[in-house]
Amino acid sequence: MTTGNFERVDVLEAEIAVEKATAEIELEARDVSVWFGQRKVLEGVNMQFPKNSVTALIGPSGCGKSTFIRTLNRLHELLPGAALAGEIMYEGRDIYAREVDPVHIRLAIGMVFQKPNPFPSMTIRGNVLSGLKLSGMKRDNHDDIVEETLTSAGLWNEVKDRLDRAGGELSGGQQQRLVIARALAVQPHVLLMDEPCSALDPASTLKIEETIRQLSKTVTIVIVTHNMQQAVRVADNTAFFLASENEPGHVVEQGLTTEIFGNPQDQRTLDYVNGRFG
Rg, the chain, Cα only = 19
**256-274: pLDDT as tens digits:** 999 999 999 999 999 999 9
Q: Is the pLDDT of residue 2 over 60?
A: no
Task: Identify which of 114, 98, 103 has the alpha carbon closest to the alpha carbon of residue 226.
Answer: 114
C-alpha to C-alpha distance for 103 and 228, rounded to whole angstroms: 33
Q: Which amino acid is at 114?
A: Q
Q: Which amino acid is at 109?
A: I
pLDDT of amino acid 1: 47
C-alpha to C-alpha distance for 214 and 149, rounded to whole angstroms: 12
Q: Is the pLDDT of residue 83 over 90?
A: yes
What kind and span of H or E run contains 253?
strand 250-256
Our separate counts of H helices and E strands in the chain read: 11, 10
**Surface-to-core class of residue 122, CB atoms within 10 Å of its CB (0-12 exposed, 13-18 middle, 19+ buried):** middle
pTM exceeds 0.85: yes
Task: Identify which of 66, 72, 25 has the alpha carbon closest to the alpha carbon of residue 48.
Answer: 25
Compute the CA torsion angle 202, 203, 204, 210 (nearest 10 deg): 100
Q: Which residues pair with 237 in a beta bridge?
A: 55, 256
CATH for 3-273 is 3.40.50.300
**162-213: pLDDT as tens digits:** 999 999 999 999 999 999 999 999 999 999 999 999 989 999 999 999 999 9
C-alpha to C-alpha distance for 57 and 50, rounded to whole angstroms: 14
